[in-house]
Structure 1
């Protein structure tokens, strides 16, 4: 792996998990030393993160981890709603139905108390939708949204009741795709995203820190 890619992957993970919280200053000398790369690949990694919207220039010489607030989250979900609903509709028209029927069964049996395993199942579902739709422009737009979504999930904290409801919602989406029902796939996606956004905003209101 190239030095710039290694630096990018490490910083991306640290930003998404909250190890580098919003406002953290990413000083070139400090970060290049910490990550074991020279300043040139570090700058390339920071440019990619800036393109992702994850870091920002506080001044010409100071790069910081970008913040994300309630308005950002609402904007993110507006885009997510449009993209994921269309992806679900197309998947229902094009899918190998056995794949999504199998995923639907997994959502009925997944132990949502194991949050990492649950999010891994969601990642497989997302990858399955992307592969089925087979539209590189839609896939690229969804990747951008999902990059920020990881941060939002961490900010809102894991809610056991919400995770259980989310599993049921994903089961319905997967089953709709698996039965070739595009209207149900779109409707189920809208319901899921409405509930997800409501829960996230409630969590942030309870703990604005």
Structure 2
């Protein structure tokens, strides 16, 4: 069944906002977006309403809808909630998970960390290998950056984020609590945008990959307490990295 125009517009705009191609403070004008995306204003209006519900955009009176800013206070508030939700999910997964799934994810995350560390050392390098990288639906080949830097770094980061997405999915599958999952899903859109702040920092991404590997290993071992502790450590480090990134002016991702 073909997707509705509003669904396609929403998915495109959401991805552009989350990946910082549309930066905070940008006014999302219906007429301009209608031309850019090749759809009428009605599906654009519906898509903008969903972005507002996600917290990615906000009405600006007579000025239309604007992409929301990312503030340290918002980040801290989101992580306060995330500590409780993610910790509980990790504990439940440790009791119910398929060990082989999480062992495999831990191995792949550790390999990703090695690749990212090499990239940090060399300031460029090979992509995460196919055995580790995860294809993403709708991927479109991008032209190579003449400097050989930015696109490769971003592709490595995207491969890592895809692995984290698989870990999230594996935990979701193991939890078996629909109310907890719904609460987590409401947070993930905004958290994904915050996570992208580390996209240009392969050293932090490598450390984060090891932290996620530790979570996967604890779940695979059935150790709920260790899974919670590993989750809290990762979240504390992630918030520290985001705090630093928010303080540094960021250029729009091209």
Give me the TM-score of the superposition, normalised by structure 1.
0.93
**Secondary structure at 1:64's aligned position in 2?**
strand
Asked if the contact 2:87/2:227 (under 8 Å) is kept, the reply is yes
Q: How does 1:123-202 map to 2 (within 5 A)?
A: 123-202=165-244
Pairing partner for 2:103 from 96, 101, 104: 101
Q: Which structure carries more helix by proportion? A: 1
**Secondary structure at 1:21's aligned position in 2?**
coil
Asked if the contact 1:100/1:174 (under 8 Å) is kept, the reply is yes
**Secondary structure at 2:60's aligned position in 1?**
strand
**What are the ranges of 5 or more consecutive residues in structure 1 without an aligned counterpart?**
none
Asked if the contact 1:157/1:203 (under 8 Å) is kept, the reply is no
- 1:118 has 2:120 as partner: no
CA shift digits 1:47-72 (9 cap, x unpaired): 11111011111104511111111101
Per the TM alignment, residue 208 of structure 1 is displaced from its structure 2 partner at its CA by: 4.2
Q: Which residue of 1 aligns with 2:88?
A: 86
Q: Distance in 2 between matches of 1:108 and 1:72?
A: 30
CA shift digits 1:104-147 (9 cap, x unpaired): 11122222342221111111111110111132222222222221
Note the aligned Cα RMSD (angstroms): 1.5
Aligned pairs, how many? 208
Asked if the contact 2:70/2:246 (under 8 Å) is kept, the reply is no
Q: Distance in 1 between matches of 2:78 and 2:219?
A: 24
Asked if the contact 2:56/2:67 (under 8 Å) is kept, the reply is yes
Asked if the contact 1:156/1:204 (under 8 Å) is kept, the reply is no
CA shift digits 1:85-115 (9 cap, x unpaired): 1110010011011111111111222223422
**Secondary structure at 2:26's aligned position in 1?**
coil
Asked if the contact 2:91/2:225 (under 8 Å) is kept, the reply is yes
Q: Distance in 1 between matches of 2:213 and 2:32?
A: 46
